[in-house]
Amino acid sequence: MKLHEYQAKAILSRYGIKIPLGHVASSPQEAQAATQAMGGKAVLKAQVHAGGRGKVGGVKVVQSPDEALQVAQAMLGKNLVTNQTGASGVPVNSLLVEELADIKRELYIAITIDRGFRGPVMIISAAGGMDIEEVSSTRPEDIHTEPIEPILGLMPFQTRRLVQKLGIEPAAARSAAQVMTSLYQIFVENDCSLVEINPLIITGDGQVIALDAKMDLEDDSLFRHADLHELRDRSQEDQLEAEAADLDIAYVNLEGDVGCLVNGAGLAMATLDVTNAAGAAPANFLDVGGGATDEKVAQAVEIILSDPKVKRVLVNVFGGILRCDVAARGVVIAYQRRNSNLPLVVRMLGTNLEEGKSILSESGLNVTFADTLTEAAQAIKQAI
Ligand code: GDP
Ligand code: MN
C-alpha cells in the first residue's frame, strides 16, 4: 500500500525529521488561502501515488495567492500522467501547499529490501533530485548501497561513512546522520517495503530537510497497523486490482486482451508465458487460490469480464483442492451474471474433470476445450 507524500511526511516528522511547513488543500480556494498564510509564495504539489511529478507540471512554485488559485484550478480534478503511471494517469484530488525552501543541495536517500542481500539496504546519492533515474542508469557509480544487518540495525559507523560519501559539510553532518537513523527506525517500525526521501535538501543555513517523501507499506503487515491502513486512498489504485484485493484474489492488471483464470501462482505465471509464446497477450495475472468456492471463482471471472480490454478468456485449472466442477460452475455463474458471450478456452485436469466439462458444455457458452497448455494457447490465439 502506498502513502501520499503528505501522509509520509507526517510520519517522518513524528520521528524528528524536518519537513517544510505545509497544508493540504482540496480546493483552489484552500490553496489560495494557504499560500496567503505562507506569506504569498509557495510550492503546490499534486498528491498522487506516483513520483516523477516535477517533470510533468505536478510540482509548481507560485509567486502569489492568485497564481496559487489559478495553478490549483488547473491541477485539481485532472489526471496526472508521469513516467511512473499508466497512460491514463492518476487523479489529483488534493495538493500539498508548502513554504518555499532555500535549496543548496539535493541528496537522495532511501531504504528498501534488497533481494540479493536478503535484507534492508540504504541507498544514497549526492546527485539527488528529479534526475535520479537517469543517474542510476548512466552513472551507477554515483549511487551507493549500504546493507543493513537486521540484527544490529543501522550502526553509527555506517551513518558516518554515508554522510562522508555524500560530502555533507560538518555543520549539517550530525542532522544528516540523525535523518538516516530515524529513517531506518521508520522503515522497521512501520513495516515498509520502501521509504524514500528525494530530495533530502541542505539549505543555505545548513538545515537538513525532507522536501519529498515516498513510503510503501508491506500489504501483508497492514493487519498490525490499523492507523496506517486508514490512510489508504483507493482513488489512486487500479480499480480492478482494488476490487480483487477486497475479495482476497491475487490479481494483477496487464496490457493484453486474454483474460486468464488460473489456480496457483506458479501455474498462473506459466499460463502467461505460454499465452505470450503463442503470440497472444494476457490481460491479467489471476490466481484464484486453492480453496475457492464456486462463488469466489464467479467473482474472479466477473473481475476479468468487467475489464473492457478483455476479448477472450482462458481458464487453466488444475483440479486439486479446487475441483473442476466448482471452477466450471463459477465460470458459468459469472458469464450469466455478466451476460457475456466472450469466447472461452478451458483447460482443466484433475478431480471431477468430466463433471466440470459437462457443466460447461451444457451451459451454452462459446467454449473450446484443450487438453494441454500448448493446445489451450493455440485455441486462445484463434478465439477472436
Ligand atoms: P517528484 O518529481 O514527484 O519526485 O516531486 P518532488 O517533490 O521531488 O519535487 C520535484 C522538484 O521540485 C524537487 O527536486 C525540487 O527541485 C523542486 N521543489 C520542490 N519543492 C521546492 C521548493 O520549495 N522550492 C524550490 N525552489 N523547488 C522545489
Ligand atoms: Mn521527488
Asked if the bond preceding 199 is cis, omega within 30° of 0, the reply is yes
Ligand 1 pocket check for 343: Cβ under 6 Å: no
Ligand 1 pocket check for 197: Cβ under 6 Å: no
> Ligand 1: distance of its center to the CA of 92 in Å?
17
User: CA-to-CA distance for 154 and 146, rounded, in angstroms?
Assistant: 9
Let me know whether 144 and 7 are in one domain.
yes
- Show the low-confidence residues of the chain (pLDDT under 50): none
Let me know whether 150 and 109 are in one domain.
yes
Residues known to be catalytic: 108, 196
Ligand nearest to the CA of 105: 1
Ligand 1 pocket check for 57: Cβ under 6 Å: no
Let me know whether 356 and 247 are in one domain.
yes
For residue 263, what is its C-alpha cell? 489456480
Let me know whether 133 and 78 are in one domain.
no
The residue whose CA is least distant from atom 19 of ligand 1 is 211
Give the count of domains, the chain: 3
Q: Candidates 45, 103, 131: which one to mutate for ligand 1, based on the most atoms within 8 Å of Cβ?
A: 103
Ligand 1 pocket check for 54: Cβ under 6 Å: yes
Let me know whether 287 and 356 are in one domain.
yes
Q: List pLDDT tens digits, range 85-104.
A: 988 899 999 999 999 999 99
Instruction: Identify the pLDDT of residue 87.
Output: 86
> Which residue stretches of 38-82 are H helix?
65-75
Q: List pLDDT tens digits, range 25-51.
A: 999 999 999 999 999 999 999 999 999
What domain range includes position 355?
A: 238-382
- Ligand 1 atom with the shortest distance to the CA of 42: 23
Q: Strand locations in the chain, DSSP E?
A: 22-25, 42-46, 59-62, 79-80, 90-91, 95-98, 103-114, 119-125, 143-147, 192-203, 208-210, 214-217, 250-253, 258-262, 284-287, 312-319, 344-350, 367-369
Residues 6+ apart with CB under 8 A from 19: 9, 12, 13, 209, 210, 213
CATH, residue 59: 3.30.1490.20
- Ligand 1 atom with the shortest distance to the CA of 98: 23
Name the domain boundary from 215, 237, 259: 237
Let me know whether 242 and 362 are in one domain.
yes
Ligand 1 pocket check for 319: Cβ under 6 Å: no
Let me know whether 349 and 244 are in one domain.
yes
Q: Residues lining ligand 2 (ion), CB within 5 A?
A: 198, 212
The residue whose CA is least distant from atom 6 of ligand 1 is 212
Let me know whether 296 and 182 are in one domain.
no
- 3-class DSSP state of 273: helix
CATH, residue 330: 3.40.50.261
The residue whose CA is least distant from atom 8 of ligand 1 is 212
Ligand 1 pocket check for 222: Cβ under 6 Å: no
Residues 6+ apart with CB under 8 A from 379: 345, 368, 370
Let me know whether 136 and 147 are in one domain.
yes
Ligand nearest to the CA of 84: 1
Please identify which residue in the block is written with the cell numbers 494557504. Answer: 34
Q: Strand locations in 47-101, DSSP E?
A: 59-62, 79-80, 90-91, 95-98
Let me know whether 14 and 141 are in one domain.
yes
Instruction: Identify the pLDDT of residue 3.
Output: 98
Name the domain boundary from 38, 72, 100: 100
Name the domain boundary from 187, 216, 237: 237
- 3-state helix, strand, coil split of the chain in percent (to 5) is 40, 25, 35
Let me know whether 95 and 143 are in one domain.
no
Ligand 1 pocket check for 106: Cβ under 6 Å: yes
> Ligand 2: distance of its center to the CA of 215 in Å?
12
Q: Candidates 84, 92, 130: which one to mutate for ligand 1, based on the most atoms within 8 Å of Cβ?
A: 130
Instruction: Identify the pLDDT of residue 319.
Output: 87
Let me know whether 348 and 226 are in one domain.
no
